[in-house]
């Protein structure tokens, strides 16, 4: 929601007027000088939208504010061109409406168009949430990163490295939405106030690493005939892509990182296909390159890659992980009920590479249980299990 500066206004004043924490107001208006507000300048108020209201007989600004539990001053500020003493029946005015509901409806097939639509809507309502494009998929889809927080501790979460694990994207986007709601409404989550987390951390979230693959699983082959014929051929002639993990070129993106990649190559398929083909070389695929470049650029303190399934959390790689990894993963296990597992005979994954090159905590979190793609009937249970990990990743 936008309002316009009047003489004597300050960001602190808006914080008090709309009951929104000052850091969220400041971070929603990073393009302005807070000590040099100009009359008429536009200010964004996070967590609010305006709603049209048609004036009825007997209405007054005071009465409307009272009936809607609004501050009279707030009502006046979103109607700068309305004379409050000359309301006319049928006239349309704006009501400031605090958002208390989810924008993201994650309990549905969640493809690339949905993640992009929801990301833009979240950023519109919560302008302290920033969005960057970190690269492109094989088919040219932009891969978004959502950034939230102002702290020096940089944390990273990602989902949908594997195409038929798209439910991870739906869960992460829902969790992000609930984090924004908690911040703007000052409601704790599981007893935790979230503003301190916001001030202490900066969370980077790449909700869908593999957009081409997710769309293939959910929507079928691309419209481009060449690509459609190719993926059907790689899928043994079948148009059922529910078992497809790879990107559109048939490369498993979580086998793309230079962390004993050769060992993974030696035991996996030698040709592109629905799963487990490691590619011609490490970081051959644009999606993996985008993730590697982002990780180098952001210099994360820890990373969590969300996959399905198994209800386990992998936290080691070749004994290169720091001692704090075990402390962190034990907390993840406590709040989720998932089992910490130090390592399995697996190489070339994103968290493996992160642990190897940074010697910092990295985790692969396997959500839910069953056969991928997991059914949406598991969404609510997975959400509750993952909520604790989402929070613990910030406060640990």
Q: Which residues are catalytic?
A: 347, 366
d(CA 295, CA 291) in angstroms, rounded, equals 6
Output the six-digit token pair for 232: 């059907």
The pairing of strands 142-149 and 201-206 is antiparallel
d(CA 2, CA 127) in angstroms, rounded, equals 11
DSSP result, 85-126: TS--TT-EEEEEEE--S-S---SS---HHHHHHHHHHHHHH-
Answer whether 306's CB lies under 8 Å from 365's CB. yes
Longest dimension (CA), the chain: 80
d(CA 102, CA 113) in angstroms, rounded, equals 18
DSSP result, 52-75: EEE--TT--HHHHHHHTT--HHHH
The pairing of strands 339-341 and 201-206 is unpaired
Strand ranges (DSSP E) for the chain? 2-4, 42-44, 48-54, 92-98, 130-136, 142-149, 153-159, 201-206, 302-308, 312-314, 339-341, 362-367
Output the six-digit token pair for 226: 């060449």
Q: What are the two backbone dihedrals, phi and then psi, of residue 295, each rounded to the nearest 5 degrees? A: -65, -40
Half-sphere exposure of 65 (CA within 13 A, CB side): 14
Answer whether 196's CB lies under 8 Å from 153's CB. no
């Amino acid at each position: 929601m936008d309002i316009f500066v009047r003489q004597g206004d300050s960001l602190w004043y808006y914080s008090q007027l709309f009951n929104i924490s000052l850091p969220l107001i400041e971070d929603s208006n990073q393009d302005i000088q807070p000590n040099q507000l100009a009359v008429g300048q536009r200010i964004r108020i996070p967590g609010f939208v305006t709603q049209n209201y048609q004036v009825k007989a007997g209405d007054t600004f005071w009465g409307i504010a009272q009936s809607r539990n609004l501050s009279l001053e707030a009502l006046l500020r979103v109607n700068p061109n309305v004379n409050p003493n000359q309301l006319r029946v049928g006239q349309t005015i704006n009501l400031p409406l605090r958002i208390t509901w989810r924008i993201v409806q994650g309990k549905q097939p969640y493809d690339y168009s949905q993640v992009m639509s929801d990301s833009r809507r979240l950023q519109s309502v919560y302008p302290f949430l920033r969005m960057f494009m970190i690269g492109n998929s094989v088919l040219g889809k932009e891969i978004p990163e959502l950034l939230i927080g102002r702290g020096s501790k940089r944390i990273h979460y990602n989902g949908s490295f594997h195409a038929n694990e798209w439910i991870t994207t739906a869960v992460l986007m829902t969790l992000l939405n609930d984090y924004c709601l908690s911040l703007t409404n000052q409601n704790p989550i599981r007893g935790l106030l979230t503003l301190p987390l916001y001030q202490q951390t900066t969370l980077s979230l790449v909700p869908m690493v593999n957009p081409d693959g997710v769309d293939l699983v959910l929507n079928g082959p691309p419209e481009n005939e060449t690509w459609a014929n190719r993926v059907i051929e790689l899928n043994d002639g079948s148009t059922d892509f529910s078992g497809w993990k790879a990107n559109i070129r048939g490369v498993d993106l979580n086998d793309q990182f230079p962390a004993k990649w050769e060992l993974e190559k030696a035991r996996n398929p030698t040709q592109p296909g629905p799963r487990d083909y490691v590619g011609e070389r490490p970081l051959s695929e644009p999606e993996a390159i985008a993730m590697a470049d982002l990780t180098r650029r952001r210099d994360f303190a820890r990373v969590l890659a969300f996959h399905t399934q198994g209800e386990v959390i992998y936290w080691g790689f070749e004994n290169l992980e720091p001692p704090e990894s075990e402390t962190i993963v034990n907390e993840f296990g406590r709040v989720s009920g998932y089992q910490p597992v130090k390592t399995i005979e697996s190489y070339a994954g994103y968290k493996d590479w992160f642990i190897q090159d940074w010697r910092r905590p990295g985790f692969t979190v396997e959500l839910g249980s069953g056969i991928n793609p997991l059914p949406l009937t598991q969404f609510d249970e997975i959400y509750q299990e993952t909520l604790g990990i989402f929070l613990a990743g910030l406060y640990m």
